[in-house]
Amino acid sequence: MRRQSGVGCLTRLVLTLVIVGVVMAGATYLFSPWAYYMGGRFHWFPSWQGVGRLHSNSGGGDYAVYVYFYPRLRRYSGLRHVAGNAVLCTPRGERFTLTLGGDFGKADGRDLNGKSARFYMFNRTAAHILSGGSARPELKLRGRWNNPDLVLDDDSSIQRNFDHNANLYPDGKNRPYLGEVSTVTLREGSKSDFEAACAAIKSR
């Protein structure tokens, strides 16, 4: 009897989790249908991940960037806000794991093609905060969807954060806000694609 009762509790827990998942997925599709069609094709999970490379003369060379994001509805953020994480690989092979947030222009139902995209990324992972580190690097990417890609530029943020040897500045003081602007095209890809891009940068 005890064993049957345990199985029954487990079954109820699983059913509850399934129902909660279905309700959340339905709410996302109702309020943010574009989340399932980012990049112009259907995704079973409302998320997108992509990889790109950018070049900065003032920042010391080539950088690889990986982004992963999903819709996040907040009280003051609107219906097109996303959250997630990113990883930046520098010409020196150094990596920074970043917290990501962003917004899109108003979607036409499922369609984000041609809509604006803006992302901001900070070094605010839990481990980094506990170690007392700063929020640098602070990377910005802005542009628009050009399905299936995101065509963006860095709003001069690489040159604000890295010197000509790709060393991270300790702070942003005495750095011009607008300098060299680097472009990047993010194409849908996985962490393994990012690893390959980062390895290619390091081998140069």
In a domain, 45, yes or no: yes
Q: Total domain count for the chain?
A: 1
In a domain, 108, yes or no: yes
Does pLDDT of 132 surpass 90?
no
In a domain, 16, yes or no: no
CA 53 from centre of chain: 14
In a domain, 124, yes or no: yes
In a domain, 37, yes or no: yes
Does pLDDT of 3 surpass 60?
no
Cβ atoms of 50 and 64 within 8 Å: the answer is no
Give 73-82 contacts, CB < 8 A, sequence gap 24+: 73/31, 73/32, 77/103, 78/103, 79/31, 79/32, 80/32, 80/34, 80/104, 80/105, 80/106, 80/107, 82/119
**What proportion of the chain, given as a percentage, has pLDDT over 70?**
74
In a domain, 134, yes or no: yes
In a domain, 115, yes or no: yes
What angle (nearest 5°) sits at the alpha carbon of residue 75, between those of residues 70 and 80?
35
Residues 173-192 have a mean pLDDT of 89
In a domain, 97, yes or no: yes
pTM exceeds cut of 0.75:
yes
Domain ranges, residue 140: 32-202
What would the two tokens of residue 55 be? 């070049």
